[in-house]
């Protein structure tokens, strides 16, 4: 049987305009390919989000290798700034262009191609489970979480999982993600009393309270890092009054911070820390402060061991590069999978993801398939 060309499959997926939460035909394309190769394909759609779960092999087999990825993409932005059709999948000088070329239709294409080739050429003693969501770039409320809910209902289980997100910062093969920092955002509303700026004693200005609280948070060192994580960070991301008049003290202002935290903290412990600071500033200023918090994901780590060693050996063999085991970067759907099984991430160089003229060298897509193919063969050896 002819092997699946991962670059061609990436191009076919790019031509599916799957901007979150639109499916765009991407999962239909993958589902048909996987069914033809002998996979049992189900949809785990929830709300307006489309999700796919495909299994090859016995559901009860204790050795099931899982892949996870997403076919949804971010909006193209200013289409006039693109030099190519964002959904045209044009190849120029060995480089494939299009929204999702890097993040992460190439990753999905590579692991689907590797899995189909393996089960059709040398069927393993084990099982493969492929999960693909259409809600990773959006709110992520009904994507991989819905897939895991569906798996639990159907008695599906992955022994280990490899997420195909772009992980390499500079060179193909230079980084594997073995964990991720936690992420949370807090929004603050400061309520005072409006008045004339010439008579500040008749008003209650919320702006100094906002400045004081934001300074306390931004200047505080949460930690200096842990064994596998860099130091946690607090970033003030917005401070707003909506006040255009220079002779008016506003009654209300708002601000927000984003915290990326390591395994020395939890969303709960950081919420308590912020609540203490809010109370401190309230006591000092008399300004009423309301706080709302959203924890996007807790920090997690898959300790270096069998899974990271398996992927590292494959990366070295296919790229000649020894990967760094890292927890840097933003969040990914691995934050949901970590509660199901051991999970690591490996994928392409991510320099152009989310950018105008997003692109990937065709050679890298073939290298990525080769890495995934070796991972599967070694896992089932």
CATH code: domain of residue 23? 3.40.630.10
Same domain, 13 and 69: yes
Same domain, 166 and 20: yes
pLDDT at 300 over 70: yes
- Residue 286: per-residue pLDDT: 95
In the residue annotation, 357 being an active-site residue is answered as no
- For position 271, which CATH number holds? 3.30.70.360
Same domain, 244 and 150: no
Structural domain boundaries enclosing 253: 182-297
Same domain, 102 and 239: no
- Residue 330: per-residue pLDDT: 86
- CA distance linking residue 283 with residue 275, whole number of Å: 12
**Catalytic choice (136, 165, 252, 358):** 136
Backbone angles phi and psi of 39, in degrees to 5: -80, 145
Domain boundary among 238, 269, 297: 297
* pLDDT tens for each residue of 278-291: 999 999 999 999 99
Same domain, 157 and 24: yes
Same domain, 202 and 350: no
pLDDT at 145 over 80: yes
**pTM (2 decimals)?**
0.91
Residue 41 lies in a domain: yes
Residue 331 lies in a domain: yes
Residue 57 lies in a domain: yes
Number of domains in the chain: 2
Mean pLDDT of the chain, nearest integer:
97
Same domain, 191 and 158: no
Residue 1 lies in a domain: no
Q: Are 110 and 372 within 8 A, CB to CB?
A: yes
Same domain, 198 and 272: yes
Same domain, 137 and 279: no
Confidence label for 303 from pLDDT (cuts 50, 70 and 90) = very high
| 342-345 and 160-163 strand pairing | parallel
- Residue 1: per-residue pLDDT: 60
Residue 21 lies in a domain: yes
**Catalytic choice (72, 135, 252, 333):** 72
Same domain, 17 and 162: yes
Q: DSSP assignment of 315-359, as one string?
A: HHHHHS-PPEEE--SS--THHHHTTTSEEEE---B-TTTTSTT-E
In the residue annotation, 136 being an active-site residue is answered as yes
* pLDDT tens for each residue of 62-116: 999 999 999 999 999 999 999 999 999 999 999 999 999 999 999 999 999 999 9
- CA distance linking residue 315 with residue 73, whole number of Å: 26
- Whose tokens are 């949460």? That residue is 222
Domain boundary among 257, 279, 297: 297
First to last CA, the chain: 22
């Amino acid at each position: 049987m002819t092997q699946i060309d991962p670059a061609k499959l990436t191009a076919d997926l790019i031509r599916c305009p799957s901007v979150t939460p639109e499916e765009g035909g991407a999962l239909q394309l993958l589902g048909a390919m996987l069914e033809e190769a002998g996979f049992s394909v189900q949809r785990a759609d929830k709300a307006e989000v489309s999700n796919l779960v495909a299994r090859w092999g016995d559901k009860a087999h204790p050795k099931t290798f899982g892949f996870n990825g997403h076919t949804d993409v971010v909006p193209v932005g200013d289409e006039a700034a693109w030099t190519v059709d964002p959904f045209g999948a044009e190849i120029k000088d060995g480089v494939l262009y299009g929204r999702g070329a890097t993040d992460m239709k190439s990753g999905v294409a590579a692991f689907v191609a590797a899995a189909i080739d393996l089960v059709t050429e040398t069927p393993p003693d084990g099982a493969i489970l492929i999960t693909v969501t259409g809600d990773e770039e959006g709110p992520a409320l009904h994507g991989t979480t819905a897939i895991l809910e569906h798996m639990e209902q159907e008695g599906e289980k992955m022994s280990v999982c490899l997420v195909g997100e772009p992980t390499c910062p500079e060179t193909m093969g230079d980084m594997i993600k073995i964990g991720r920092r936690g992420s949370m955002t807090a929004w603050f509303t400061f309520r005072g009393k409006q008045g004339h700026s010439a008579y500040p004693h008749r008003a209650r200005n919320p702006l100094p309270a906002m400045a004081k609280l934001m300074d306390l948070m931004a200047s505080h060192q949460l930690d200096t890092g842990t064994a596998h994580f860099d130091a946690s960070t607090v970033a003030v991301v917005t401070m707003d009054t909506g006040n255009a008049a220079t002779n008016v003290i506003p009654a209300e202002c708002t601000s927000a911070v984003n915290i990326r935290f390591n395994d020395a903290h939890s969303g709960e412990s950081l919420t308590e820390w912020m609540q203490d600071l809010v109370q401190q500033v309230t006591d000092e200023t008399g300004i009423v402060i309301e706080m709302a918090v959203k924890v996007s994901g807790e920090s997690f780590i898959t300790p270096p061991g069998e899974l990271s060693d398996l992927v590292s050996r494959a990366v070295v063999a296919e790229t000649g590069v020894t990967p760094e085991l890292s927890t840097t970067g933003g969040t990914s759907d691995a934050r949901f999978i970590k509660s199901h099984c051991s999970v690591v991430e490996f994928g392409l160089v991510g320099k152009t993801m989310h950018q105008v003229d997003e692109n990937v060298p065709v050679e890298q897509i073939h290298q990525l398939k080769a890495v995934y193919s070796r991972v599967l063969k070694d896992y089932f050896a």
